Amino acid sequence: MIRTPSEVYAGLVFVRSLLSHPSRWTRGAMARNLRGEPVKPLDWNAVSWSLEGAVRQAAEWHRNSQKSALHPDRRDCGSVNLSRALISSQRVLGVPLVAFNDRDHTTYFDVLDLIDRAIGKFDPATHSRKTVTRSTWC
């Protein structure tokens, strides 16, 4: 489960790596396959993700890398904590990630900027983790 600032940081870096090229980002679906068809974010055929889809994939990656016991809420809790870190980094607070990702005027570079700002808040080198406190994590 993603609960500590270092785990949030690692999850955000993973989200950034998933969306490392414009062809790996999508809108209008959580994820898409090579044919551009919508698939679930954890589908093995997924080749591009929305911001929320990448968050879900990162939470699953973390759960698997930690070999956590299988609990129905583990992936959701990790997704919630990563989403909260990203939402707290928005220039206009309160916009759900899906809405931010799918707005007509949101670009790939806007998505990367949001991820990079969130990574900066949780970067262990800067020790600046004031915006998301443990009490806001599930």
Per-residue pLDDT tens, the chain, 138 aa: give them. Answer: 566 778 888 889 999 999 999 999 999 999 999 999 999 999 999 999 999 999 999 888 767 665 544 444 444 566 666 777 777 777 665 778 899 999 999 999 999 999 999 899 888 887 554 544 444 554
pLDDT at 81: 67
Q: Which residues of 75-108 are buried (b: 16+ CB within 10 A; e: fewer)?
A: bebbbbbbbbbbbebeeeeeeebbebbbeeebee
Do 132 and 124 contact (CB within 8 A), yes or no? no
23 and 48 Cβ atoms separated by less than 8 Å: yes
* Phi-psi map region of 50: left, alpha, beta (phi>0 left; psi -120 to 50 alpha): beta
pLDDT in tens, 56-75: 998 887 676 655 444 444 44
Give the model confidence (pLDDT) of 92-108 as tens digits: 657 788 999 999 999 99
pTM greater than 0.95 (yes/no): no
pLDDT of 92: 61
Q: Which residues contact 58 (CB under 8 A, 6 or more apart)?
A: 11, 12, 14, 15, 18, 78, 82
pLDDT given at position 67: 54
pLDDT given at position 123: 87
* Residue 19 pLDDT: 97
**DSSP β-bridge partners for residue 48:** 32
